[in-house]
Structure formats: structure tokens, C-alpha cells
Amino acid sequence: MSGKPTTTPPVSRGVSKKVHIADTPITLRNWHQHIDWLNVILIIGIPLYGIIQAFWVPLQLKTAIWAISYYFFTGLGITAGYHRLWSHSSYSATLPLRIWLAAAGGGAVEGSARWWSRLHRAHHRYTDTDQDPYSVNKGLFYSHFGWMLIKQNPKRIGRTDISDLNEDPVVVWQHRHYLLVVAVMGLAVPMAGAGLWGDWWGGFVYAGILRIFFVQQATFCINSLAHWLGEQPFDDRNSPRDHAITALATLGEGYHNFHHEFPSDYRNAIEWYQYDPTKWMIWVWKQMGLAYDLKVFRANEIEKGRVQQMQKKLDQRRARLDWGVPINALPVLEWEEYLELARSRALVAVAGVVHDVTEFVEEHPGGRAMITAAIGKDATAMFNGGVYYHSNAAHNLLSMMRVGVIRGGCEVEVLKRAQKEG
């Protein structure tokens, strides 16, 4: 008998997946594997070297002014470029401005615009969750720069769409040649600037290394301090906060609660007196024809958020106060029951609600006789202006004395009696 040869299927073997070091606990044996040593060198080691060099390299006034100027130049590359332009598309920029911002941002040495924006979009989409690359819930140090010093599993970071960045030739070029941009804009240019007056080494130390350190720390404050210090005038469900100190340290990025609520607005500060040099520069670029399509949320929508948050805080304060027994929890009394109970207790009916004023008779500001005259009666008109138009405080105090409600309300009983009398 002929037939096809039979084959035995191969035995399936379990494929062991390699566990990322970030998903393992830190121990004395493997702690060094959790450290991102390259970032440690770049973020801590090189600035430390610059600080040590500063003891031997005198700081000239011209170099100090140049370093501060270059600090603002590269800082704007991050705030106006990486953040408001590429991360949030809060405005559009012409090709010359995009090239300028990509160069300036590279000089801040904080990664490429593509890498920076991808993480920042994940931060906004997954704020304060495990998918937030620098969640403040993991600690202030972690959100500041610990997340870069300790290895992270990239698969744990939330997904975001960066197709628009991949279509921007300036972003793509800067990403591919990032190390070249860093070498030129981070060190060569600041050295050459100070070299104009012969202070090449001072330019390297102060306008180069130490300036990079300060602009990095300022930017890191957006991820840490802006989620820890200040008020939450628009929403308190997540950690972002507004504070003038953070704004001063971050070229206007400190109004972070507003920013997280309205991320596509080119402004962070919406009041004229709030410090936001990034907003001012974007506006200047618009006047120069370099920027356009500046996005602004409607004032009505912004005010809605502010009022809703104010109401939420008021409701929280209100909930902590004692407002007396809720009316719907009071026993319902017939009018005759009310009259009967009022013979043994000082009960007063106001707007259909029965109040026990026994302990308040002697304290009544209008005198004992006035409140005694209302016992066992419908004192609605008397309380609401018939004798005296009582204050809001009096209404609140009276609500603490509620003991029952009249079935049908006092007005119903008055009509009944009027009909009965003819």
C-alpha cells in the first residue's frame, strides 16, 4: 500500500523573553545595571567637570554676558521650538525659523526635537500614570532628571503619534545629525563667541558646559517643579500647577496647569503681568513674518474652566460645613401635629419647615417677646419681612434648628382654613 510519508510535527518549545532590566528590582548586585551611565556622564559628570574648571578659569564680564545671552537663545530653542512648536503645534513657523529653533534647541543638549517631542506628547497623554515617562508620582527627583539617569523600558512609555514630525525635514535632519548639532551649537559656537575677545577657554567652561547645565536644569523644572509647586486654577485632577517662580526659571513655562488644560495655546501665561518671554518672542516673530497661525483658546472656554474649578473648590469647602438636617430627611407633620407639639416646645414654622427654637428664645436679638409671638404659628411672612427681613446669617442659623416639615406646606393650611371659614 502506497501513501505519503507521515511527518511528526516539531515539539513547540517555549521562547524565553528577555526581561528588561528596568522591570527587575534594584539590588546591591545589579544596581549598576539600572544606571544609564551615558546620561550620568552627560548630565552630572560633564557639568561637575565644568564646575571644577571654574576654580581655575576666571570669568570675564563679556563672557558672562555672552553665556547669559546664549542661555536664553538655547532656552527658547526648547520652549518655543521643541515644546510649543513641535510638541504641541501651537503655532506654525517658516523654514528659516524652524532651522533656527532646531539649532538653538540642539545647543541646549536635551536630545533631538523628535525624541523630546515624542516623550512630551506621551507625558501629556498619560500624565501621572505609569506610561508617563517622567511622572511626578514617582518622586520629585525622578521627574526632574532621575528618569534619565535610571534605565527605562521604552515599551512602558505610552504611545503617541509623531507622523507630523517625521514629515518635517528640519526635525528629521536634526535627529539624524544630532551629535553634530550638539558639538557645533552646544560647544563650538559658545567657544567661538567668547573667542572674539580671546577668552576661548572661558567660553568653553561658562558659555558652553555650565550654560548647558543651567538650561537643562531649568527645563527639567517643567517636569518636576511645575507639577509640585503652585496653584491649580483650572483643574486639580492631575498634578500640573501654576507658579510665578517656576515661570521665572523656565522662560514662562511655569503656568503649567493652564498649559495642560489648553496645550495647543501658544501662550502659557494669559495675564498681561505674568512672565512668559517665550510667548512674547513668538508674537514678535509673527510681526516679523516668521511665525503664523498662533493658536489661542477662546476666552469663554478658558473662563469656563476657571469657574468650574472655583465652584469645585467651593463645593469642597461647603461639604465640610454642617448645614443642619437635610429637609428630605425630616419627618413630615400634619398641621394639627405641629400645633400640638408647639404647646410643649418652642416650635416655629417658616416656609413649611418646623424649627425648634427652644434654646434660642433667650438669645434672640429681637427680644424674647418677638420670637415667643411666633411659636405655634406660620411665621413665614414675619421672618421674611413682615416684621423683620432677616439676614443670610439668620437663615443659616435657623436651618440648624430644623425638626420637621408641614405636609403640604404652611400656605396650603392657610388656604384650607380660609375655605373652612367661608
Same domain, 305 and 334: no
Query: How much is the pLDDT for 1?
Result: 40
Residue 7, domain member (yes or no): no
In this structure, the number of other CB atoms found within 10 A of the CB of residue 31 comes to 10
Same domain, 201 and 264: yes
Query: How much is the pLDDT for 387?
Result: 61
Residue 376, domain member (yes or no): yes
Radius of gyration of the chain (CA): 35
Query: How much is the pLDDT for 192?
Result: 96
Residue 229, domain member (yes or no): yes
Contact (CB, 8 A) for 206 and 67: yes
Same domain, 300 and 398: no
Return the exposure string of 304-322: e unless at least 16 CB atoms fall within 10 Å of the residue's CB, then b: ebbeebeeeeeeeeeeeee
Domain edge (last residue) among 310, 337, 367: 310
Determine the Cα–Cα distance for residues 278 and 291; give it in Å rounded to an integer: 13
3-state secondary structure the chain: CCCCCCCCCCCCCCCCCCCCHHHCCCCCCCHHHHECHHHHHHHHHHHHHHHHHHCCCCCCHHHHHHHHHHHHHHHHHHHHHHHHHHHCCCCEECHHHHHHHHHHHHHCCCCCHHHHHHHHHHHHHCCCCCCCCCCHHHCHHHHHHHHHHECCCHHHCCCCCCHHHHCCHHHHHHHHCHHHHHHHHHHHHHHHHHHCCCCHHHHHHHHHHHHHHHHHHHHHHHHCHHHCCCECCCCCCCCCCECHHHHHHCCCCCEHHHHHHCCCCCCCCCCCCCCCHHHHHHHHHHHCCCEECCCCCCHHHHHHHHHHHHHHHHHHHHHCCCCCCCHHHCCEECHHHHHHHCCCCCEEEECCEEEECHHHHHHCCCCHHHHHCCCCCECHHHHECCCCECCHHHHHHHHCCEEEEECCHHHHHHHHHHHHCC
Query: How much is the pLDDT for 43?
Result: 87
Structural domain boundaries, residue 377: 327-420
Q: In this prediction, what percent of the chain has a pLDDT beyond 90?
A: 67
pLDDT, mean over the chain? 89
What are 54-85's pLDDT values in tens digits?
999 999 999 999 999 999 999 999 999 999 99
Using DSSP bridges, classify how beta strands 332-333 and 402-406 pair: parallel, antiparallel or unpaired: parallel
Place of cell 404647646: 343
Residue 403, domain member (yes or no): yes
Q: Which residues 6+ apart lie within 8 Å of 51 measured at CB?
A: 210
Same domain, 102 and 232: yes
In this structure, the number of other CB atoms found within 10 A of the CB of residue 265 comes to 20
Q: Nearest 5°: CA angle at 255, between 282 and 265?
A: 45
In terms of phi and psi (left: phi > 0; alpha: psi -120 to 50; beta: otherwise), the region of 91 is beta
Residue 65, domain member (yes or no): yes
- Asked if the model's pLDDT at residue 112 lies above 70, the reply is yes
Same domain, 101 and 243: yes
Same domain, 295 and 333: no
Q: Nearest 5°: CA angle at 143, between 140 and 240?
A: 85
Crossing angle (nearest 10°) for helices 277-287 and 61-76:
80
- Asked if the model's pLDDT at residue 300 lies above 90, the reply is yes
Same domain, 26 and 134: yes
Q: In this prediction, what percent of the chain has a pLDDT beyond 70?
A: 92
Same domain, 172 and 241: yes
Residue 11, domain member (yes or no): no
State the pLDDT confidence band at 214, using cuts at 50, 70 and 90. Answer: very high
Domain edge (last residue) among 256, 277, 310: 310
What are 23-54's pLDDT values in tens digits?
787 787 887 788 888 888 888 898 999 999 99
Determine the Cα–Cα distance for residues 251 and 418; give it in Å rounded to an integer: 75
CATH of the domain at 393: 3.10.120.10
Same domain, 214 and 144: yes
Same domain, 117 and 207: yes
Domain edge (last residue) among 310, 342, 359: 310
Query: How much is the pLDDT for 13?
Result: 53
Query: How much is the pLDDT for 392?
Result: 84
State the pLDDT confidence band at 415, using cuts at 50, 70 and 90. Answer: low
Same domain, 294 and 249: yes
User: How many independent structural domains does the chain possess?
Assistant: 2
Contact (CB, 8 A) for 299 and 270: no
State the pLDDT confidence band at 4, using cuts at 50, 70 and 90. Answer: very low
Residue 320, domain member (yes or no): no
Determine the Cα–Cα distance for residues 40 and 95; give it in Å rounded to an integer: 35
Residue 135, domain member (yes or no): yes
Same domain, 97 and 132: yes
State the pLDDT confidence band at 408, using cuts at 50, 70 and 90. Answer: confident
What are 308-359's pLDDT values in tens digits?
999 999 999 999 999 889 988 999 999 889 999 999 899 999 989 999 999 8
